[in-house]
Structure 1
């Protein structure tokens, strides 16, 4: 468990912490609109072996990235966002150190060695897992006494203000706060949350993740463009965020918008919030199979109104549904990454094979298909 740290730093870590990736069941591009989301934690995690230092030096190393140790001074950390330079993978844990110190917390030097099984570039929040793993380690090493939601908020600040990515808080909250066997129903406006049971195995169901293993460059700036468009739509409607537009009043709201682009963005966000509420209602009623069509509706909205899908994601959804899946949709920011598929357990293997066959026929890169089993949030996994 600690061999990597010893090889890099020549000593023993003070402990090992881990934070999971996440897959979002429903509620896409709603978190930065103060809306509702419903992620669940994946079994795949980012683990960090960490040891406190007393000299103000931050050393970072990852077994998943080529290169040596990145060495920085904690009192010299400064945001990268204004420069347009994301700073590579090391900016994310460095940003967490910066965010904790900017919040007035006494955080000093530390040696960190990361090992992750969360696929990168797959829309499964590998960056949030990296951030949250760092945060929980520092929380323990420096006895900060912060709870999981507060750590998630500080990790979001690290990504927004230090790295320069205008993400919402869903990914960090999922990585920090999910519990096994549940999906996290999160209100991103006030961070109230509820753990909703989702026992797929007991109902003879499987939730598959299809990692298309592609990421289109269009997504680099398109996320910020969609966010700006949502803000423009809210301003045109005279509300602070699109969360304040009631689903029942959507037709009237759309009539007030003169620009078709804004109509489409607003329609997606408002209907997506409604879909989250519908999935919660169905799960509470024990009607898990019935969430399948809601997932498929969400994909159509992301594809046609929010326009963040791509050929590979559309093919994964189409092939899965043709093979008998109960529902499927892209998950994450879009322009590549992953889709999720709800299927009967007895048909899951055939659905996965159908997706593989469709990708091969289209001469796409071979996808990676695995089961998503709702897991728990971040924490310490060993003392040393």
Structure 2
């Protein structure tokens, strides 16, 4: 974390020739369970991780916004009067989109100054750990402080989602931004996406001698295009066909009736969402009553549902999950929106090294690129660092 702060501050100085007024960070997230349920107004259980995105920022005396990043040679620039979603593209849309979205949520953009910002991150891009929400939330808290907007964290989460939906063009739910803003050490965030209420659920992994290993498949994904949007459209169509506001209104008892009204593919999409909602509720109950060692079967079932019903897995993720399950993991599943990204394995701490070796060997045997593997721990949400 110290290196990221230093690198971000140094990047700002090198780019803009002065010191920033402050530095803010926001974490990526791992979704323990509850995939593609957030935009269906269901339940999710993510947690913030120690990998973070940092933004160094300093106000300007005009209304120009300039943004640079360690991940790009471009210095993107726009005037506050010219902020329109259709004008935004590329990586800078995540930043400019948040600025625009703050205006949509009540900030008077005619009364605030421009700013210069530099962004750096150690959240892997395209791995399903929500590098995009980490950028959005770091920028949102930085501007909330700098412009003295006094917006609460739930509103900032909605700002980030709004920016991603309407400026970036990715039809995501609010889970990622909520985890990045509300996360706490050692705990997951249990979020009801219909009511917007959330609870902190301690996981007590260390006490149980457990770790969460992330296996980044190396297969990158992009939520603004392709299968993610198709899955959301399928869910929306199913709700419309069934005459309900969202798939959240269904329970497993409703699936036989749905089967008479939906085509087989759409039915599988609905079945995933309905059963995944129940798995989230069951996971929360088990964490509270029995502890993390009891949730393995639910993680395994979640992956099967995503693989066969929602069809968002890829061979690399299936191999990672299967190898983990047969080499000491209590449970494993892909995490994130799918079509690439990462899997997670809940594994006893004494078995981590063996599991790493087994996954490396399995990927090599199948001719896949070497995966990146690392442990993650539940961390705090977005903050001002200095």
Same-fold call, TM cutoff 0.5:
yes
Residue correspondence of structure 1 range 38-187 to structure 2 within 5 A: 38-65=45-72, 67-80=73-86, 87-106=89-108, 107-187=112-192
Aligned Cα root-mean-square deviation (Å):
1.4
**TM-aligned CA distance change 1:339 to 1:378, over 3 Å:** same
Q: Residue 30 of structure 1 aligns with which residue?
A: 37
Structure 1 unaligned segments of length 5 or more: list them: none
Select 1:222's aligned residue among 213, 223, 227: 227
Partner of 1:342, secondary structure, is strand
CA displacement at 1:71 relative to structure 2: 1.2
Question: Contact 2:238–2:262 (CA<8 Å) still a contact in 1?
Answer: no
Partner of 1:186, secondary structure, is strand
Structure 2 unaligned segments of length 5 or more: list them: 1-5
Question: Contact 2:356–2:373 (CA<8 Å) still a contact in 1?
Answer: yes
Question: Contact 1:62–1:115 (CA<8 Å) still a contact in 2?
Answer: yes
Partner of 1:213, secondary structure, is coil
CA displacement at 1:219 relative to structure 2: 8.6
Rounded Cα–Cα distance in structure 1 between residues aligned with 2:145 and 2:185: 22
Rounded Cα–Cα distance in structure 2 between residues aligned with 1:311 and 1:268: 19
Rounded Cα–Cα distance in structure 2 between residues aligned with 1:37 and 1:70: 35
Question: Contact 2:127–2:221 (CA<8 Å) still a contact in 1?
Answer: no
**TM-aligned CA distance change 1:172 to 1:58, over 3 Å:** same
Q: Residue 203 of structure 1 aligns with which residue?
A: 208
Rounded Cα–Cα distance in structure 1 between residues aligned with 2:299 and 2:215: 14
Select 1:311's aligned residue among 294, 315, 331: 315
TM-score by length of 1: 0.95
Rounded Cα–Cα distance in structure 1 between residues aligned with 2:195 and 2:102: 21
Rounded Cα–Cα distance in structure 2 between residues aligned with 1:105 and 1:218: 28
Rounded Cα–Cα distance in structure 1 between residues aligned with 2:223 and 2:382: 32
Rounded Cα–Cα distance in structure 2 between residues aligned with 1:218 and 1:61: 23
Partner of 1:33, secondary structure, is coil
Deviation string for 1:200-259 (max 9, x for gaps)? Answer: 1111111111111112679931111111111111112211100000233333333x3230
Question: Contact 2:223–2:229 (CA<8 Å) still a contact in 1?
Answer: no
**TM-aligned CA distance change 1:115 to 1:216, over 3 Å:** closer
Q: Residue 3 of structure 2 aligns with which residue?
A: none
CA displacement at 1:361 relative to structure 2: 1.0
CA displacement at 1:173 relative to structure 2: 0.7
Partner of 2:214, secondary structure, is strand
Question: Contact 2:234–2:269 (CA<8 Å) still a contact in 1?
Answer: yes
CA displacement at 1:130 relative to structure 2: 0.4
Rounded Cα–Cα distance in structure 1 between residues aligned with 2:204 and 2:378: 9
Question: Contact 1:219–1:335 (CA<8 Å) still a contact in 2?
Answer: no
CA displacement at 1:7 relative to structure 2: 0.7
